[in-house]
Amino acid sequence: MSVATEQAQVPRRSRQELVRVTDLVKHFPITLGIVFRRQVGAVQAVDGISFSIRKGETLGLVGESGSGKSTTARLLLRLLDPTSGRVELEGEDITAASGSRLRKVRQEMQMIFQDPYASLDPRMTVRDIVGEPLVVWNRWKNGGAARVAELLERVGLHPDHANRFPHEFSGGQRQRIGIARALALQPKLILCDEPVSALDVSVRAQILNLLAGLQRDFDLTYLFISHDLSVVRQVADRVAVMYLGKLVEVADRDELYRRPVHPYTQALVSAVPIPDPIKERKRQHIVLHGDIPSPANPPSGCRATRLPATSPSPWRSSPRRRVAQAMRAAPGIRGRPGPTGSRRPGRPARTARAPA
């Protein structure tokens, strides 16, 4: 029995944590001046988020454009240095890793990019693209060409395609090449940064099925970033909702779609269409007003300021245990009071909003 098969038989909740993120912050300074530069502000791209991913699990990270999803992925890969916080990989703190130690860590983490056209070098053949990680890590001489052929076949391409250039492939085929490149070093964690958003619907389903099959065969762990909740529902085990640099809710997939707690999550779920015209016409949609605020000047208190005043309150419709879990995962939910006269579970009523 393979290691992947044995791991697949272990319940997800009993598996070890592969990644743990604690109070992760990334602020990009805003400066003025040419000779004497001074900081006048900061873009709060990621502002104190915490989550974990277990081995063999898929965590979906959803949110609008500009909420900090891709910045979070780059912080995990250490392509960006965090302002503060902690990132652990298999219990090892990699926040301050550098040099050879950081290079070793990056073997365990790879990324699938959103744009299959821009993420491949047009001057390199497919063999060079997929085999480049093997060359960098001095593994090409030990069967590198055979490894490339094996990877291409595994992602649904013919080994003869190795001699072609990216412009000779369709969008879906290019994304398969990117997936093969991500698998070259046999990583444990793959960060999928909206890998199907640029593809047609039919091709999108094929890529999602491919990712699911690879996860099952190689016991991969995914951080799946998307703004499409219907896609995340198909692939994720748990879902984290991000808004303006903060996590507002983290929950199991089925629980989040069936009973969302945070009003912003309720608005996102209500926007997902149902393939039943009768039910769809009867649904109540929560419409968000305006654009997402600037992360350089976020609102004070709870940042979910675009919700209508009549949006349903989570405090009346959700069990106390579920609400408490959401409050622990996302302190920003504490800043949205319920209707007048209502009480939060186990706490006295208050009218002032606490900082999110």
Task: Provide the pLDDT for residue 352.
Answer: 42
pLDDT > 60? residue 224: yes
Over 50: is that where the pLDDT of 335 sits? no
Lowest mean pLDDT among 124-128, 172-176, 232-236, 326-330: 326-330
Q: How far apart are CA 162 and CA 327, in angstroms?
A: 50
10 Å Cβ neighbour count for 169?
A: 19
pLDDT score of 46 more than 70? yes
- Starting at the edge strand that comes first in sequence, how are the strands of the sheet with 84-89 ordered? 38-54, 17-32, 84-89, 92-93
Mean pLDDT across 277-298 = 82
Percentage of the residues of the chain whose pLDDT score is greater than 70: 83
Instruction: State the pLDDT at residue 8.
Output: 53
**Residue 25 predicted with pLDDT over 70:** yes
Which residue did the predictor score with more confidence, 22 or 321?
22
The residue to which tokens 């609008």 are assigned: 64
The rounded distance, in Å, linking the Cα atoms of 186 and 83 is 30
Average pLDDT value for residue range 33-53 = 91
Q: What angle do CA 84, 85, 88 make, to 5 degrees?
A: 135
pLDDT (0 to 100) of residue 35: 84
Among candidates 213, 221, 152, 211, which has minimal Cα distance to 191?
221
**For residue 10, what pLDDT is reported?**
67
Q: Specify the pLDDT at position 284.
A: 79
* Of 75, 97, 95, 98, the residue nearest 26 (C-alpha): 75
End-to-end CA, the chain:
48
Residues contacting residue 353 through CB under 8 Å, at least 6 positions apart: 301, 302, 335, 336, 337
* 220-246: average pLDDT: 93
Task: Assign 309 a pLDDT band (cuts: 50, 70, 90).
Answer: low
Position 12 scores a pLDDT of 67
Place of tokens 């419409």: 287
pLDDT at position 2: 42
pLDDT of 311 reads 52
Mean pLDDT, residues 179-186: 95
State the pLDDT at residue 201. Answer: 87
Q: State the average pLDDT over residues 28-32.
A: 92
Q: What percent of the chain is modeled with pLDDT above 90?
A: 56
Is a pLDDT exceeding 90 seen at residue 206? Answer: yes
- pLDDT at position 353 is 43
* Average pLDDT over all residues of the chain: 83
CB < 8 Å & 24+ apart, contacts of 36-43: 41/296, 41/297, 42/296, 43/295, 43/296
Q: Does domain 3-108+187-263 have CATH number 3.20.20.10?
A: no
C-alpha closest to that of 328 among 256, 249, 263: 249
pLDDT class for 205, splitting at 50, 70, 90?
very high
Tell me the pLDDT band of 1, cut-offs 50, 70 and 90. very low
Radius of gyration of the chain (CA): 22
Q: Delimit the domains of the chain by residue range.
A: 3-108+187-263
List the single range of 134-143, 281-290, 319-328 with lowest mean pLDDT: 319-328
Write the pLDDT tens digit of every residue in 139-167.
Answer: 898 889 999 999 999 999 999 999 999 99
Report which residue type is found at 270. Answer: S
Contact between 250 and 328 (Cβ < 8 Å): no
Measured over all CA atoms, what is the biggest interatomic distance in the chain, rounded to whole angstroms?
72
* Average pLDDT rounded to a whole number, residues 283-300: 82
